[in-house]
Amino acid sequence: MKLVSHDNVLLFPVKVHKFSIENFDQQKFVKFATRLQYICQSQLRTGTGWQSPSDIHDVNKYFKEKEDIDCMTELLKIISWGFPEIEKYYKFKKLNLDLEARIISLWVNINYPGAHNKMHNHGTAGFAGTLYIQKDEDQGEIVFEDVRRESKLWVVPKTKTFDVPTDSQWISENIFGYQEIETKTGDIILLPSWLDHMVGINKTQDPRISVSFNFNWYEK
Ligand SMILES: [Fe+2]
């Protein structure tokens, strides 16, 4: 008898989609985000910076000026550019359903110097996403947390001491833990809504501006 094969089987991988937009009109959308603070008049949140209401995709509800309507309409178009890639990945075509992607909620985040976003997820919405309007180095990356049950209590090899030895920590980190994705202005991240994530501290003097949203597919 002898061992003749070894397969590495990757179970339960989490797919996060990252897109980049060429020639993203940063200036136009930064100005729009700045105007939004006056249009929406929502509260500044300690720690997290400013967040607009989560239904600003309802263009008629919030916007009267053509410039604002055009900006919001364009943002809605831009954020949906990556949706067909998810449809392809999950083979929606095979379902033989007449589906359309719909934005359930959408809001703008302005993280001022020192602001961050705590660990959270977007529940069972479907998919969540972020478009980076103004995101430079040191403005805080998005960090994802492994949500598999018991992973945080997992120690291999099992040691007598309570403290996890370095080697064991290395094994753990290669199996679960935290993963960061580097982003820049004009990038879009799409992720399953249940995936826990946070945003690091903005260590610069300029605001970090992003549009976050939840979406799912529905029968027409
Ligand atoms: Fe989020």
CA of 212 to the centre of ligand 1 (A): 7
CA of 95 to the centre of ligand 1 (A): 29
CA of 90 to the centre of ligand 1 (A): 22
> What does the DSSP assignment read for 186-207?
TEEEEEETTS-EEE----SSS-
Q: Using CB atoms within 10 A of its CB, is residue 84 exposed (0-12), middle (13-18) or buried (19+)? A: exposed
Three-class DSSP category at 172: helix
CA of 27 to the centre of ligand 1 (A): 24
Q: CA 110, 115, 119: angle at the middle one, nearest 5?
A: 100
Among 47-51, 58-62, 152-156, the minimum mean pLDDT is found in 152-156
**Given a cut of 80, is residue 24 above it in pLDDT?**
yes
Phi, psi of 108 (to 5 degrees): -105, 135
Torsion sign over Cα 207, 25, 127, 36 = positive
State both tokens at 85.
Answer: 């890639």
> How distant is the alpha carbon of residue 123 from its chain centre?
13
CA of 129 to the centre of ligand 1 (A): 8
Any residues with CB less than 8 A from the CB of 186 and at least 6 apart, and which? Answer: 20, 21, 22, 24, 26, 132
d(CA 139, CA 154): 32
CB 18 within 8 A of CB 188: yes
CA of 71 to the centre of ligand 1 (A): 22
CA of 102 to the centre of ligand 1 (A): 18
CA of 159 to the centre of ligand 1 (A): 36
**Given a cut of 80, is residue 80 above it in pLDDT?**
yes
- Measuring CA to CA, which residue among 144, 151, 128, 136 is closest to residue 211? 128
For the chain, domains (ranges, CATH) are 17-141+182-219 (2.60.120.620)
**Given a cut of 90, is residue 209 above it in pLDDT?**
yes
- List pLDDT tens digits, range 141-188: 999 998 887 777 777 777 666 565 566 666 766 777 788 999 999 999
CA of 163 to the centre of ligand 1 (A): 32
Torsion sign over Cα 192, 196, 201, 207 = positive
CA of 164 to the centre of ligand 1 (A): 31
CA of 193 to the centre of ligand 1 (A): 8
CA of 169 to the centre of ligand 1 (A): 28
State both tokens at 62.
Answer: 């919030």
CA of 89 to the centre of ligand 1 (A): 22
CA of 158 to the centre of ligand 1 (A): 35
- List pLDDT tens digits, range 100-149: 999 999 999 999 999 998 999 999 999 999 999 999 999 999 999 988 87
- Measuring CA to CA, which residue among 159, 48, 63, 59 is closest to residue 112? 48
Residue in the structure block whose two tokens are 């094969």: 5
**pTM for the model:** 0.88
Torsion sign over Cα 128, 26, 119, 149 = positive
